[in-house]
Structures are given as structure tokens and as C-alpha cells.
Structure 1
Amino acid sequence: MGSTFKKPPQAPPLFTHTPESLIKDTERLIATSKALQDKIVKEVSVDNANFHNADLPFAQDDNKMSLESHIIGFYQAVSTDAKVRDASTEAEKLMDDFAIEASMREDIFKLVDAAYKKQKDDTSLDAESRRLLEKDRKGYIRMGLGIPAGPKRDRFKAIKKRLSELSITFQKALNEENGGLWLTPEELEGVPEDVVGGLMKGKEGTPSEGKLWLTFKYPDLFPTLKYCKNAEVRQKVFVANENKCPGNVELFKEAIILRDEGARLLGYPNHATFRIEDKMAKTPKTVDDFLGDLRKRLAPGGLKEIEKLKELKKAETGKADKYFLWDHRFYDTLMLEKEYQLDQQRISEYFPLQSSISGMLNIFEELFGLHFVKIEGEHRDQISETGKGADIVWHQDVQVFAVWDDEGEGGGFVGYLYLDLHPRDGKYGHAANFNLQPGFIQENGTRRYPATALVCNFSKPTPKRPSLLKHDEVVTLFHELGHGIHDLVSRTIYSRFHGTSTVRDFVEAPSQMLENWCWTPSQIKSLSKHWSYLTPEYTKQYKDQATNGAPQPPESMPDDLIESIIRTQHVNDALFNLRQLHFGTFDMLVHEPASHEDVEKLDVSETYNKLREDISKLDGPEELGEDYHWGHGQATFGHLIGGYDAGYYGYLSSQVYSADMFYTVFKKNPMDGKEGRRYRHTVLEKGGSQDEMTTLEEFLHRKPSTSAFYKDLGLE
């Protein structure tokens, strides 16, 4: 990672919006787009319509609009100001409503359709423009313009608008969810001190005096489920977390009913058929067969893993007739410690957040020919259009990097990368990559550079220690950074194909492939650095804390510790994948009912919990006499409302592609810069600008195969 600062050719975006300006800017963008649509309809006729006058202007308008619209919608995930978050949500709703209106304009569809029919004879069109025209035309048909005008089409439009509203409300409830439980320090026995020490304390003279507030945010929830020795407390926390956001239960049900109705209006047998026809899988049958086959292959392994975990539970508690959902993270962690000598706490001491990030960026530099320069202090003022460095970030904790090509790749500017890594109230609660501004070719032929943000929730540093990552958090960070790199190095003509704008059952593959670097001994070593070496202050802190004058540990991770990580890569893998299979199967089940009445009658919570028990084989509260309505996990499942509907299987099917790419090309030498650059140019650069199967076959020099995936899982 370089430190030499040079001014990028494009200023970074500004984050100076107010609640008022968010709405005003949105209204301006919508008015500009609408004026363009009316102008084209007035000036172009079906007879003279072609790509350049009937479709290209909208793509260019899309490009320009996306420079502002992504950021306008981004505030709801990151702003500390509730008014700004509310305005961002409201603005997104306005944009969604407008997008629905625009994509249902028959007058424009007729022009695009005419242009599409003529383009076969137009030799001047490049492949990406042809793809754009084809996708745009198909988009209008998928938005109901194949339905004759009248009550049916009006109903379809109303469904689309309501679905957009449901999605926004559902996600907002998840982002702003602030529930938790008051627990005594005794109840939290076993939970790491750095977690317990960070919990809010109850006020004196109130019923919560002497207790601690445990939230459902990941940095509180996961360590509690992994380390809390009291099974009743784990059960209480697990069940409470499955019951958060109760308002989302109705929203989820309404969404699957409306999706089904909408798909049937378009002439599809169900929503899954409608969603999957454009993806790599093409049909629900392909997906169902894949999930069914995987389930058959994984089930015996899952049962075997449960038997071993039950033995461990019996050794600990003296009884183990049942193995509960809230047992799993605890005994999984215990097994890793006892049988594999995996010392999570000791491992995390070698992954301080900041040096882990530097290590990861170094890997990407070497592999893809990139150069990351952190922008701090006065350099922020120098590149900000307002001259104020604070204006180029949305929160003071955010880090900004200018990304350049190295000399071998031409030395040009690539884009901006932002890292927002710690939890805050009102902030998006998982780990994700958000595109802030896509890259594309501008009308004058010059390139517009992308900006992308990683939003994560890792624990904050304390005065005595930096933020330390568990190994699974290192994998998460590397995965999300993989999406960020995809977003940065993509080179497409149009913003709509930029970066991670691929089909949903391919989008995870590039990031999943990069996770393999976190399981390679040489890479783990290069990523690691014991926190006591970071600064003289930390060295002193370590020595002050060390018991009996123990010596300072080695600076990079010792081989025996690395070995203990590698040995655990596939421990309880079947159970992990069965959990993913539960999500994927549930998603397909609710989106391919036999009839509309079936989805209306569906008891969603019962279906979710029954399926989980059937597939994951873990016991739930139903084993303690509760009925299947003890929790509603679907109400906390943002993916199925936010774009992964009838698409969650993509996490598993992308793994097929990612395993194939890694084993075929990188396994023998993960740091092969020549292959890294070939991967950058063949796969990442293309974004969604060509058929994803073509991209994959070009990189592999053959059709993809499932063999590496099953071998990796020990199933072949």
C-alpha cells in the first residue's frame, strides 16, 4: 500500500446532504428524466426509432442519475441522523415509484421495441449496446407491457409500487432495530471480556441496575451464542433474536402473495419462474434439482456431525439427547478449541483490523496490479470540491482510499474505496458492499471512475487494545472487499452493467473465490501481525497486561496456530451448508406455490421453522413442547425482500463456480500475478456487460463443472 499522494483526476463524491436537499435532489433527478422521456416520445417515431435515438439517451440519463441516486439511497444505511435516514428512505421510495412509472410507459416501449427489431441489421452496434437494448426491451415486457392496457395492467403497476414500499419498510425496520435483553454479568459467564466490557450498564435505582444490555447486533449476539456457558441464556438470546422486527412478519407474507399475483398476471406459473429465467440457472427446476441433490449429499454428513457434537455436549453436561439451535455455535466453537486446538482469542490477537486491511490490500495490489493510497488530513481538503475534507465522508470513522493501477497496468486512476467498519445506532447491521457511483463511458468519450463502500460491523478499538478480528471476520472482510474490487476494476460502457451488476446467481462467485486466500498458510501469515507490535503504546499495554512477565509473542502468526486454522476449514461444513440450504429451499418454496390460494393459505413462520428442522436436523423449541410459531426468522431475512427473492440459492450455486475457478487456476499458486491480472481482465472487468456464462467459460477455457465444489465439501 502506497503512501505517495497524487491528486486523482476526479473529485470524490460529497456527503453534505440534508433531509431537505435529499428530497429536492431526488425531485430534480426525476423531473430531468421525465422531461427526457417526453422529449424522445415527441421527437422519435416508431418508423425512425433506432438504438441511438430511442434507447441510448435513456442509458446516458441512467449513467448521470446513478452518480447521485446511489448516494441518496445510501444514507438510510449509514447516517447517524434519523431525519436524514428517513429522508433517504422517502427519496428511495420516490425514485422507485418513478422507475416503475417509467418502465411501464407504452409509448417508450414501442420505440425501444422498434429499435430492437431493427438492430439486427445495424453493424455499427457493439456487443454491450446490443445487450443493453435486449435487456431494456425485455425489462418493459417484464414490467407488464405484454399485458393489454386496462385493469390487469393497472393492477400489475399497483403491485409493483406496493412491493417497493414493502421492501423499503422491511429493511428500515431491520436497520433501525434496537432491541436486546437485560442480563446479569453471571448470566454472561464465558462471554469474552472485550464484549461484556463494551455493553451498556443499567442505571442505578432502575430494575436494570446491575445488569447489562445485550443487543442483537452481531458483535454482541455471535460471541454470546458462541461462548455463553449458560444454555438457558443462549436459548433466551437465540429465540429473542428470531422474534425481532415482528412488524415484518405481515410485510413478508404480503410480499410473497403480491409477487405470486404479479407473476401470474405476466403469464408465469409463479414468481420463481419469472425471476430465474434471466439468471444462469434459467428455470426453477434446475435450481430445485441442484438444491435437492445437494441436500441428499449433505444430509448424512450433517447427521454424523451432530452425533459428534452431541458427544461433546454429553461430556460437558452429562446429557445430550437433544442438540438445539442455540447449542450449535457454542459446541461448534468448543469442538474447534478442544479437538482442533483452535484458540479464537489468541488467533484474533494476530488480526488487528487495521493491519489486516493493509495486508488484504497488499494481496490485491500484487494479484491485480493495483495501488491503494489512503487519503487523510490535508489531502482530504485538497481533493474535496468544497475544500473541506470532512465533506467527502459520511462519518468521521470512515477511511478513504484512492485506487490506482500500478505501472504494469498503465498507472491510471481506478476509483475510490471507502471503509466504514464499526457499529453505530441506525446503521446497516450486516457486512455489505455498496456502490456509491458506478463507472461508465461519458458522452464525451472520457471515463467516469467508480466509488464503492464497504459497510461492516466489527468491534471498536478500546483504549487498551485495537479492534481485533476473529478468523471468520477476516473471511467476511475479504469477501466484501472482493465485491469492492469487482466494483472498482470493472470497465463497462454503461453504468447498468458496472461491477457487481451481474445476475444474482453469479454475483457472489468472485468474492467467494477470494475467500480461499484466507485459508492459504502463506496468506494467513502475510495478513497477520500481533497487535502488541502496532505502536510503542500497544507494546507497553501488552507488557503491562502480560501475566508473570510472559514474553511478547512473535510478530507474525506462528505456524502451529496457522495449522490449527487450516485444519478447521471443513469442520461441521455439512451443517453450515445445510443451514444455507434451508434458506435457499425456503426461498424457493414460498416463491413457487402450486396455486395462488396455496400462497395465501401458507403459514410462513411454521413453514420456515419446520423446514429448518427437516433440513438442518437441529432441534428447536418444538422439541420442548412449543408449536412451530415460536419464532419468525423470515422477518429478519433482509435478502429475500432486498433482491435475492427466488435467488438465495445463488450463494450455493456461485460456490460451484468459485470452487471451479480457484482449483482450476489459483490453487497451485494463489499469488500468481499473471493469472490474477487475467482474472481481473476476463472476469471482473466485464461486470454484467456480457452473458456471465460466457465470462466464466472464457476464464476456465471450458464449461464449468461441479466436481471441485463437491470435492471441497468432501462429497466426491
Structure 2
Amino acid sequence: MAPKQYRTPPQLPPTFTATKQSLVDDAKRLIDRSRSVQDAVVRHVKPESATFANVLLPMAHDDNKMAIESHILGFYNAVSTNKELRDASSEVEQMLDDFGIESSMREDVFYLVNAVKNNKPTLDPESQRLLEKEHKSFIRNGLSLPAGPKRDRFKEIKQRLSQISIAFQKNLNEESGGLWFTPDELRGVPEDTIATLKKGEGEREGHLFLTFKYPDLFPTLKYATNAETRMKVFVANENKCNQNVALFREAVLLRDEAARILGYNNHAEFRIEDKMAKTTKTVDDFLADLRRKLAPGGAKEIQQLMKLKKQDAAENGLTGQLADNYYLWDNRYYDRLMLEKHYQLDHQVIAEYFPLQTTIQGMLKIFEELFGLVFVEIVGEEDRAALADGGKGSDIVWHEDVQIFSVWDDEGEGAGFVGYLYLDLFPRDGKYAHFANFNIQPGYIDENGKRRYPATALVCNFSKPTPTKPSLLKHDEVVTFFHELGHGIHDLVSRTTYSRFHGTNTVRDFVEAPSQMLENWCWTPSQLRSLSHHYSYLSSDYEKAYLESSGADKKPTEHIPQSLIANLISTKHVNDALFNLRQLHFGTFDMAVHEPTSHEEVEKMDITEKYNSLRHEISQLAGPEVLDGDKKGDWHWGNGQATFGHLIGGYDAGYYGYLSSQVYSTDMFYTVFKADPMNPIQGRRYRHTVLERGGSKDEMSILEEFLGRKPETAAFYKELGISQ
């Protein structure tokens, strides 16, 4: 039972009782209300009397109210089990996007915003930032163009890009393909995974259906001893959404056209102008320098992995082409094998110490100690119904598996309410297929000066429990979950006046830095031990199952042994160059398609060939293009760009941010936390200086304030083990 002061949140959580019709009706109502606010501003204010208070503020308050409902309307598309509801949610996203484009291109509103800016009002810093961002947004949405064909074409492009984005992500969410294999073809894949696979009937009897969902895909690529199986799975996964190939190409062409209409040389120049990097040259130089420094390390790592592959091939009778090269589908398998053979590191054994629920509890405890928070899980029909505004307890979640927490400041931070955290942990049909944090409702200050509290959701795809084991996390899954939870905490503790700047609404090449920094806690011995809890201690049934399956005569230690922790940490940078070269491929491809020298260049570009050939050049890993057969020399064996949701969902000309923000995250950790990761004084300073600000202040100035100086690259390159 939670302490009394944490039992009654001052704000009820949202409810998830929408119908197909209510989603559409609510979207229409929100759009009508918002349009009427804009119309009223234009009707009642003239340029000579325009002020922040009578132009920007009414629309900002409306944006706040809009976000409270609109985020949820689109969220159903990512999490609902009802296809009709997902389809309606997609329709609503399109309606809201179209209205957003309409609003961003209203010339009559722009005239008033421009008048306010020209009057140079004296404003608080966040309001000043809102004015500048809003003014620049109108210009970047075509209002620097004279009315006529060019502006009309720009609007058409914006609308079509919105349609493409929604359709692209929907195709990924709805993807339900896979491959049938015999048990022998899946030899080596952990029994936990095999036990969850669909069993074939009729002509498929004796076969198992392997989907492309993470809990099936990754264990197969890491553990299947059959090289042909790994190849089939890898190639099929690259082709799982080929209907997105044309959409991706169209998006790239339209983005380039739109940028040139606005007077930019390409889409990357347009996008990066508004980020921390500012220029495409900064990004290109960073990626090229990183590639130059990582490439030799990648080549050495492949040499070592190839030695291991030759030994393994000899032991298992693998001959022919699949034995002759180091392939894309080999990397997860031999990376894992190297850790086991050379470092005596068995990730299956490590996973036994990280049952999902106890690991979550441990992570929340870290955030409680570091940031002064309290997480109170809301369980049981009675407690949930008390927050359901007269409805059923099930109304405050969208699926029965979803966990919900009320989040509070601890007494040292004032014991006030912070917001709601949701955890949606397991895969299901139609659900968003990766790992992400979704803002459900932002926080802000309303027109009466009252704090509105946020709600945020982690949408994940971990393996489901089996009758003999709970869901167990591999260490990389622990890191992934901590990263996404970091985004969630950023979302929760943000304290901005306007929803526009709430939480993770920062520039793209900074947004990953706070969560990347927190990943370091997953490599800290004391925190790894505190997170660990061997699953055999969770229940007598689990204890019995463990003893039977392991053949041991007693349970292992409850917490992960220090020797195993030391082994794990010693592997942090094993094959690190190859991992970062993979990220470098994504970032370089992103720039290649969005930074052509002319529109004709991108029209002629074979995007599939560009994706696969760049991957071969940068990652140094071979694909089917080197095998004899109809694919030899052909770069069209797979369409990985069609599965690359980031580049359609907001990271276009911005994927480099995953690498560049590591510069900031590593600098912050080394400078402030490395010596004492659980220092509560520094944790709270980080919370109040970095996380609370959201995007309400220039991100570089936030960094400089926290570090006490300009950020530096030394820690980043030191962590990678390469000289500058």
C-alpha cells in the first residue's frame, strides 16, 4: 500500500474507451475549436495592435488543449488490438496532420506573428523562444514564398508526405509475415523462443512459424547454428515491407523538391539548419571522421570473427560459399559465440538474473534515488476504478497487459504529483513492433496558471513469459529498456510553460543524449548487481523448473556474481567498431539520399542499391551480392530502407544524431557521474538543469550550463578506444 500522500493524484489519468466513430468525431471537434481560435485572433487583432498576449498566447493555450487529446487519438494506431480502431486512428492522424499543414500556412496568422516579432516585445525566455520558433515555422512552411503555384505545390507536397508517413508506419505495424522452419533448421535457438512459436498443421505439421518480431528474430540470428537459416531469416526480414519501397522513394523525391522550392540546396540543408549541427558540412565532416577512425577497428574485428567462423565451420561441417565470407547474417551469431568462447560470457545465463518485473522495479528504484521520484503502481480493479472518472478500472489502460504508475516527487523534492507512466511490454498483432516512448499527454501551465501533468508510455516487445520461466532480459535488452525509460523520465519531469517544448520535444540531434547517458548505469557494477534477481527466487515453481532444466542441485546466488559482472563489463567494447559502423551506415545513407547535388541526381538514384552498397562499404560485411546465383553482383536482394521507420518518422537528415549525441552523453557522464553514478545531488542537478527544461531553452546552452563549459569530444573517443 502506498503512503497516504501518494494515494490520490490531483489529476485523473486519461481513459481509453474510444470507438471508431468517437475518434473521428473528437478529431473534428478539436480541429473546429482550434480553427475558431485562429479565426478569432485574425478577426479581432490588427497588425498594429498585435502583441504576444493577443496573438501567440491564445493559440498556445489551444495547442496545449489540443495535445491533451490529439496524442491519444493517434496512439491507438500503435497499440490497439482492434484493426478498425487502428484504421480510424490512422484516419484521424491524417486529419490532424492536414489541419496542422493548413494552420502552418495561414498567411493571415503569419502577418500577425510577424508583426509581434517586429515589435520586439519584452518576454520571459520561454515565451521569447515560442515567438521565434513560431515565426520561423511559418517561413519554413512556405510563407516566405509569394502566393501562387510554388506555395500551392509546397502545400501539396507537405500533405502527401504526411500521407506517406502514416501509411509507411502502418505497414510496419501491421506486418505479420514470417517463415516456416523445421525444428532441425532452428537448432541452437533457445528453447524459450522455440516454445512460443506457432506450430504448423496439415501440410505444415512438424514445422514452426518464425515471425519477424524482435523476440523471434534476434534469438534466431544470434543462436541458430544453421547458416542457411540465418541467411533466410535475415534476407526475408529485409524484405518484410516491400510495399514501403515506393513510399520511401517518393518521400525522398518530395522532400528534395520542397527544399528547393524554399531556396535550399537539398532537404538535409533545410532540416539541419534548425538543429545543433546547423550545417550539412558539420554533419558530413563528423560522419567522415568517425568512419575514418572506426574502419581499421572494424577490419580487425572481422579478422578475429572470421577466425572463429573458420573454426566453427570446421567443427560443424560448413563448407562452400556460406563458409567463405563473413556475412551480414553471421555477425550476431559469431559476436555471441566470441563472447562465450573468449570471454566465458553466456548471455542466456546473464538473462536468468534479469526477470522483467524485478528489473523494472530495480530501474525505477534507481530513478527514485537519483532524481527524487516515487513510483506507485496502480493495480487491482478497485484502485484503477477510483481513477477512472466513474468508469471501469480497465478504462485507464488500452490493454489488459499494460501497467500504470502514478509518479510523485519524494518528500525532499516536495512530495508533489509528477504524472503517469505506462508500460506496454509484450508483442501482439498490429502493435508497434520496436521499442519506443510515446507521449500520451504533455505537461504545461494552463491559462489559469495551473500545472497540467504529463502521461507517458513505454511501448516494448519483450519475450512473453512461459510456464517455466518469466520474461528474461538479455543484457542488451536491459540497456534498451533503460534507454527508453530515460526518455519516459525526460517526459515526466519536464516543467515547461508550453506543451510545444515539453519533455523530449528538443532538436533531434540532442534528444537521444539524455537517454544515452543513462545507459551507462547498465554498465556500472553496483547498479547491475542491484538490478539483478535470479528468477529461481521468484517462486517455488520457477525454482523447481530451474533445477530440472539446469541439472543443478541448488539455486545459484540470488544476485549476479561479481565475477559475471566483471566478465560482462569487460565485453562492453568487444566488436564495438562494427556496431558503430552499422550506425554509421544508417547515418551516411540518410545523408546520401537527402543531400543530392541536384534534383536530377536523386531522381536517378537507385535507393535500394545505395542502401545495400553503402552498407557493404561501411560495415565491411558481405551480403547475397557476393554469392553465386541470380543475386550475384546485384544490390537488389533486400530493401532495408523500407523497414527504416526512423527516416520516415522524423529522423530524416537527422539519424546522425544517434552518433553525435553520444558525444554529449559521454561528456556528461564522464564529467559529472562516472566517479559516483548514484550521487543524488548531481542527479537532481541533472534533473533540474537538463531534463526539466525540455526544449524550452537552446540545447547547447543547457549543455554548457550543466557541464560548466562547452561540450568536448575527448570522452566520446576515449570510450570508443580510438585516438582523436
TM over 0.5: yes
Query: What is the root-mean-square deviation of aligned Cα atoms in Å?
Result: 1.0
Q: Which one-letter code corresponds to 1:672 in the other structure?
A: N
Q: Which one-letter code corresponds to 2:670 in the other structure?
A: Y
1:359-508 alignment to 2 at 5 Å?
359-377=362-380, 378-508=382-512
* Aligned equivalents of 1:211, 1:116: Cα separation in 2: 67
* Aligned equivalents of 2:36, 2:591: Cα separation in 1: 40
Corresponding residue for 2:153?
Answer: 155
Aligned with 1:668 (options 668, 675, 681) = 675
**SS, match of residue 570 in structure 1:** coil
**SS, match of residue 204 in structure 2:** coil
Deviations 1:397-445 (A, max 9, x none): 0000000000110110000000000000000000000000000001110
* Aligned equivalents of 2:550, 2:345: Cα separation in 1: 21
1:112-511 alignment to 2 at 5 Å?
112-118=113-119, 120=120, 122-123=121-122, 125-203=123-201, 205=202, 207-318=203-314, 321-377=324-380, 378-511=382-515
Aligned with 1:632 (options 618, 623, 639) = 639
**SS, match of residue 702 in structure 1:** coil
Q: Which one-letter code corresponds to 1:290 in the other structure?
A: F
Deviations 1:163-193 (A, max 9, x none): 0000000000000101100100000000000
Query: Across the two proteins, how many residue pairs are aligned to each other?
Result: 710
**SS, match of residue 55 in structure 1:** helix
**SS, match of residue 508 in structure 2:** coil
* Aligned equivalents of 1:127, 1:84: Cα separation in 2: 41
**Distance apart, 1:612 and its partner CA:** 0.3
Change (3 A) 1:536 1:57: same
**SS, match of residue 331 in structure 2:** helix
Q: Under a length normalisation based on structure 2, what TM-score does the superposition of the two structures give?
A: 0.97
**More displaced stretch, 459-468 vs 393-402:** 459-468
Q: Which one-letter code corresponds to 1:146 in the other structure?
A: S
Q: 1:368, 1:673 within 8 Å by CA — same for their partners in 2?
A: yes
Q: 2:145, 2:151 within 8 Å by CA — same for their partners in 1?
A: yes
Q: Which one-letter code corresponds to 1:383 in the other structure?
A: L
**SS, match of residue 422 in structure 2:** strand
Q: Which one-letter code corresponds to 1:603 in the other structure?
A: D
Pairing 1:575–2:571 present: no
**Distance apart, 1:231 and its partner CA:** 0.3
Q: Which runs of 5+ in 1 are unaligned?
A: none
Aligned with 1:649 (options 614, 635, 656) = 656
* Aligned equivalents of 1:658, 1:529: Cα separation in 2: 29
Change (3 A) 1:540 1:316: closer
Q: Which one-letter code corresponds to 1:28 in the other structure?
A: R
Corresponding residue for 2:712?
Answer: 705
Q: 1:666, 1:675 within 8 Å by CA — same for their partners in 2?
A: yes
* Aligned equivalents of 2:218, 2:469: Cα separation in 1: 20
* Aligned equivalents of 2:711, 2:221: Cα separation in 1: 38
* Aligned equivalents of 2:390, 2:70: Cα separation in 1: 20
Aligned with 1:514 (options 518, 525, 528) = 518
Q: Which one-letter code corresponds to 1:194 in the other structure?
A: D
Corresponding residue for 2:695?
Answer: 688
* Aligned equivalents of 1:632, 1:210: Cα separation in 2: 31
Q: 2:468, 2:541 within 8 Å by CA — same for their partners in 1?
A: no
Q: Which one-letter code corresponds to 2:565 in the other structure?
A: I
* Aligned equivalents of 1:3, 1:638: Cα separation in 2: 43
Corresponding residue for 1:16?
Answer: 17
Q: Which one-letter code corresponds to 2:667 in the other structure?
A: D
* Aligned equivalents of 1:545, 1:163: Cα separation in 2: 53
Q: Which one-letter code corresponds to 2:223 in the other structure?
A: Y
* Aligned equivalents of 1:386, 1:301: Cα separation in 2: 61
Q: Which aligned runs of 4 or more in structure 1 are off by greater than 4 angstroms? A: 1-5
Corresponding residue for 1:563?
Answer: 566
Q: 2:355, 2:535 within 8 Å by CA — same for their partners in 1?
A: yes
Q: 1:78, 1:427 within 8 Å by CA — same for their partners in 2?
A: yes
Pairing 1:678–2:679 present: no
**SS, match of residue 510 in structure 2:** coil
* Aligned equivalents of 1:108, 1:509: Cα separation in 2: 35
Deviations 1:318-365 (A, max 9, x none): 375410001101000000111111111110010000000000000000
What is the percent sequence identity of the aligned residues?
70
Q: 1:460, 1:467 within 8 Å by CA — same for their partners in 2?
A: yes
Corresponding residue for 2:619?
Answer: 616
**SS, match of residue 302 in structure 2:** helix
**Distance apart, 1:106 and its partner CA:** 0.2
Q: Under a length normalisation based on structure 1, what TM-score does the superposition of the two structures give?
A: 0.98
**Distance apart, 1:497 and its partner CA:** 0.1
* Aligned equivalents of 1:51, 1:183: Cα separation in 2: 64
**Distance apart, 1:198 and its partner CA:** 0.5
**SS, match of residue 506 in structure 1:** helix
Q: Which one-letter code corresponds to 2:492 in the other structure?
A: L
**Distance apart, 1:544 and its partner CA:** 4.5
Q: Which runs of 5+ in 2 are unaligned?
A: none
**SS, match of residue 594 in structure 1:** coil
**Distance apart, 1:3 and its partner CA:** 6.7
Q: 1:3, 1:373 within 8 Å by CA — same for their partners in 2?
A: no
Corresponding residue for 1:658?
Answer: 665
Deviations 1:600-623 (A, max 9, x none): 111000000000000000011111
* Aligned equivalents of 2:474, 2:208: Cα separation in 1: 23
Q: 1:177, 1:245 within 8 Å by CA — same for their partners in 2?
A: yes
* Aligned equivalents of 1:7, 1:68: Cα separation in 2: 23
**Distance apart, 1:258 and its partner CA:** 0.2
**SS, match of residue 101 in structure 1:** helix
